[in-house]
């Protein structure tokens, strides 16, 4: 079976050859058969199978590939259990020509380093973009920041989380990034007492300003 070019139209991608995948002669069916209407996980398996013993592979996909259920969910679970998934990186929206949707990058490695085995790195890089009028851009400083997070392989509040395979299992192997990278919401709101005090102070100042205005207005009238 020959897969069409990755940039083919959606119509061609839908006809990716699902009927032949179960008995793929090249042994690329390493995790299961994707749905007939979406060959994303066939591409992923094809690229994983193409890695050599020291290979690393990255693929850009829509975020749906991280959490869609059914056949894709089963494939995702099988790939995770094979412990080749190294990182999941969420990118900002509108950085790819032709679509405003945000994409993700999945990084696979045939033989992960000892410190990374049994773990997956999640990076929320959704704000690492320069916002443009028609399109957003990944600038060198954004790429450098994302790479440094990836290289460090350590938790960073609001941005990076190292999750264990047990963590992924608890979430039914759902790789949706917000499940792992929790945003800390800073509560800078005043207490009720402080808010009432500020309101009273503002009210007193407004009354004083109104009184001053009346005095000035009376001088002009006279």
In order along its 222 residues, the chain shows pLDDT tens digits of: 444 444 433 434 566 777 778 788 888 988 988 888 888 898 899 999 999 988 999 999 989 899 999 999 999 999 999 999 999 999 988 888 777 888 899 999 999 999 999 999 999 999 998 988 888 888 999 999 999 999 999 999 999 999 999 999 999 999 999 999 988 766 667 777 777 778 778 777 777 777 776 677 666 666
pLDDT of res. 7: 43
User: Dihedral angle at the C-alpha atoms of 55, 27, 82, 79, nearest 10 degrees?
Assistant: 100
Q: Which of 76, 179, 169, 180 is nearest to 121 (CA)?
A: 180
Would you state the structure tokens that stand for residue 151, as one six-digit string?
């290289």
Report in angstroms the alpha-carbon separations of 150 from 25, 68, 69: 35, 25, 27
Contact 137, 144 (CB under 8 A): no
pLDDT of res. 78: 94
Could you give the 3-state DSSP secondary structure of residue 148?
A: helix
Q: Which of 131, 126, 83 is nearest to 105 (CA)?
A: 126
What's this model's pTM, rounded to 2 decimal places?
0.75
pLDDT of res. 188: 67
Cβ neighbours of residue 70 closer than 8 Å, sequence gap 6 or more: 35
pLDDT of res. 95: 86
Rounded to the nearest angstrom, the gap between the alpha carbon of residue 135 and the centroid of all alpha carbons in its chain is 18
Place of tokens 């690329």: 28
What are the residue ranges of helices labelled H in the chain? 10-14, 18-21, 40-50, 64-67, 70-81, 140-152, 165-170, 192-221
pLDDT of res. 222: 61
CA distance 45 to 34: 10
Contact 128, 146 (CB under 8 A): yes
CA distance 28 to 17: 13
pLDDT of res. 187: 63
């Amino acid at each position: 079976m020959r897969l069409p070019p990755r940039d083919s139209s959606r119509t061609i991608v839908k006809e990716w050859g699902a009927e032949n995948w179960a008995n793929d002669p090249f042994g690329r069916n390493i995790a299961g058969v994707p749905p007939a209407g979406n060959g994303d996980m066939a591409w992923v398996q094809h690229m994983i199978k193409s890695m050599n013993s020291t290979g690393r592979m990255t693929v850009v996909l829509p975020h749906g590939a991280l959490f869609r259920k059914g056949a894709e969910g089963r494939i995702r679970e099988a790939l995770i259990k094979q412990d080749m998934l190294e990182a999941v990186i969420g990118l900002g929206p509108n950085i790819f020509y032709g679509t405003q949707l945000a994409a993700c990058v999945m990084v696979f490695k045939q033989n992960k380093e000892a410190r990374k085995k049994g773990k997956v790195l999640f990076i929320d890089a959704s704000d690492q973009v320069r916002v443009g009028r028609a399109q957003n851009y990944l600038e060198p400083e954004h790429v450098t920041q994302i790479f440094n997070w990836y290289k460090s392989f350590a938790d960073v509040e609001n941005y990076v989380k190292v999750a264990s395979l047990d963590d992924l299992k608890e979430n039914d192997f759902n790789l949706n990034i917000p499940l792992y990278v929790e945003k800390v919401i800073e509560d800078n709101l005043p207490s009720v007492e402080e808010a009432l005090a500020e309101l009273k102070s503002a009210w007193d100042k407004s009354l004083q300003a109104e009184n001053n205005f009346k005095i000035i207005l009376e001088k002009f009238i006279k």
